[in-house]
Amino acid sequence: MIDTILFDLDGTLIDSSEGIIKSALYALEYYGIHEQDTGKLYRFIGPPLSESFEKYYGFSPERAYEAVEKYRERYNKTGIFECRLYPGVEQCIRLLRERGYRIGMASSKPEVSCKRILEHFGILELFDDVTGATFDGRRDKKSQILEEVMRRWSDIPRESMCLVGDTEFDAAGAAELGIFCIAVSYGFGDVEEMKKTGIIGVCDSMEELPGLLAGLPGKAGY
């Protein structure tokens, strides 16, 4: 029975595209790269930033690490709050808490940034714990984030956990660790790609999540 819900942040609880894209542009321009098609920068949302600089712009690991630092130069001052909560987020989390679910966060965004954003929107207190990446890159992949969640919550069996996310990185990380995953269709990823990895449901809005969880026989309850 699922009794612990882990939320991804970007593309699941918040639309963070403006801040991430502007900060990625800032970093690329520092290296003389003037990206005209900002649509390509949506690829920076989800995976670790260093991987995106390496994969899409041919940066070496060392240069990618430097580019992430340049990205954060803008993001930590301005970009972090260039975002908005998706409709129904606070109401959904409050309802799940009322129904007895434990609420956590598992994001590849730095943990400090996750907490700042949740505090900015006045919902930090709704989370029993917030787990994110480290600034030094030791923990940034979704599987590593989930491993840290399970280390902190070692008393909770993984089969009672469910990650709610919007990209194949969420689905793959959950599958690797043997926990359930629910996809949201309104984020930055591709639900069809997530289905290939294995998910137990899809939400078209955050308002649908409590009903979806309640309707999973043998997997959820309250």
Smallest CA-to-CA distance from 116 within 90, 93, 91, 83 is with: 83
Determine the structural domain holding residue 53 and report its residue range. 17-81
pTM: 0.90
- Residue 219 counted as domain residue: no
* Domain CATH for 125: 3.40.50.1000
pLDDT tens column, 14-28: 999 999 999 999 999
Catalytic amino acids?
Answer: 8
Q: Which residues contact 39 (CB under 8 A, 6 or more apart)?
A: none
CB atoms within 10 A of CB 1: 11
pLDDT tens column, 74-110: 999 999 999 999 999 999 999 999 999 999 999 999 9
- Residue 47 counted as domain residue: yes
- Of 81, 105, 120, the residue that ends a domain is 81
Question: Do 160 and 202 reside in the same domain of the chain?
Answer: yes
Q: Are 93 and 125 in contact (CB under 8 A)?
A: no
Question: Do 124 and 158 reside in the same domain of the chain?
Answer: yes
Structural element, H or E, at residue 217: none
Question: Do 65 and 126 reside in the same domain of the chain?
Answer: no
Smallest CA-to-CA distance from 140 within 65, 85, 196 is with: 65
- In total, how many domains does the chain have? 2
* Domain CATH for 61: 1.10.150.240
pLDDT for position 113: 95
Q: Which residues contact 50 (CB under 8 A, 6 or more apart)?
A: 61, 64, 65, 67, 68, 137, 140
- Residue 221 counted as domain residue: no
- Residue 96 counted as domain residue: yes
pLDDT tens column, 35-82: 999 999 999 987 889 999 999 999 999 999 999 999 999 999 999 999
- Residue 165 counted as domain residue: yes
